[in-house]
Structure 1
């Protein structure tokens, strides 16, 4: 168990009442992003970027899902690389996909879904990117078991391939969701930034987990898309995630739990967030 990295604590500035109010009414965070080009050689050094422009708690409390939607993929990468993993979440989180500004992210999602033989046939007449956003509504973390399951609110499209049998359900804010696609949960190396660990959501051995159903759960596993997610904490109750398919980057996503955000705010402002994953040096 580790406390918030010194590089973040050093730049923590207490929020005044005015700043707190602004953060709740959408004040844009003043976060620096390095200039970049298209080629790999034109990308900034992430370690140098963090050394010169570390993220402050004062700015991170202003980050909202709406703000993340305004960022390019390179800016999302630069933000993610400067975040610590934070504590491993517990409970239900709402999820949403982030399509970077000026990108073809929706096309990428459509390619991912369309590559699933047998499942793509169910999508006739529908835009695949809309299907992806409709199917997935979030994740449920079972922290003590080191297991995660995904919340699916509409089984209409998946029903033909799921078959018979009862599927476990959960109710979140009065909305029922089915729990599918189990994954292992642990700390591990980030595929973007190896200087510190991320929280890993690994579907490679989904078939070994309780409640596994060959269809559709195998679609995300080692015989399917080989999905591996990683997340880091922006602030309590808000995590930025990256989904990989066979180690190739696929898309960004957000996980949010507003109840946990409110409960953890005071400790976050005081720099008391516990780090369970390796936070680097």
Structure 2
């Protein structure tokens, strides 16, 4: 099944977790991805929150698969900042392979953040954000 952003925004947390668990890690992506934060999944606020975050805070990520790094696109101007190391690793959600976006050694601002992504459709990834070991929010990336 091919997914789109709206379908993910309409899902509950359980549905998002089930989709993540059922999806392969996929290849480490390369290039620019449009990002959408998924906060308060399954509520009527999810879409509004996503739009606000997308405009003011975070628009997505730019991956360099060859170098194994990414930069986040932040601020209303899409400034590329906040670097992470990218590689395959074990998911904290289910112990299976995922793509880990690790900020611990690359960012003073986000050194306690770890993202995990898996491929859910061609050029479309679902992600989990952890703060320390605490699960924070979900997001998606469309290439």
1:204 aligns with 2:90: no
What is the CA deviation profile of residues 162-205 of structure 1, one whole-angstrom value per residue up to 9, with x for unaligned ones?
xxxxxxxxxxxxxx6311100100100101111x2100000000
* TM-score, reference length from structure 2: 0.89
Gaps in structure 1 of 5+ consecutive residues: 1-59, 110-128, 155-175, 207-216, 258-281
* TM-score, reference length from structure 1: 0.47
Gaps in structure 2 of 5+ consecutive residues: none
Give the C-alpha shift of residue 102 in structure 1: 3.2
Identify the residue that residue 228 of structure 1 maps to in structure 2: 114
Distance 1:218 1:104, change over 3 A: farther
Greater share of helix residues, 1 or 2? 1
What is the CA deviation profile of residues 106-133 of structure 1, one whole-angstrom value per residue up to 9, with x for unaligned ones?
9xx9xxxxxxxxxxxxxxxxxxx94575
Give the C-alpha shift of residue 153 in structure 1: 4.1
Identify the residue that residue 188 of structure 1 maps to in structure 2: 89
Identify the residue that residue 81 of structure 1 maps to in structure 2: 21
* Structure 2 CA distance for aligned equivalents of residues 177 and 202 of structure 1: 21
Contact 1:70–1:101 under 8 Å retained in 2: yes
State the Cα RMSD in Å: 2.2
* Structure 1 CA distance for aligned equivalents of residues 102 and 60 of structure 2: 16
Moved >6 Å (runs of 4+): 103-106
Alignment coverage as a number of residue pairs: 140
Max Rg structure: 1
Identify the residue that residue 245 of structure 1 maps to in structure 2: 131
1:219 aligns with 2:141: no
Contact 2:9–2:46 under 8 Å retained in 1: no
What is the CA deviation profile of residues 11-46 of structure 1, one whole-angstrom value per residue up to 9, with x for unaligned ones?
xxxxxxxxxxxxxxxxxxxxxxxxxxxxxxxxxxxx
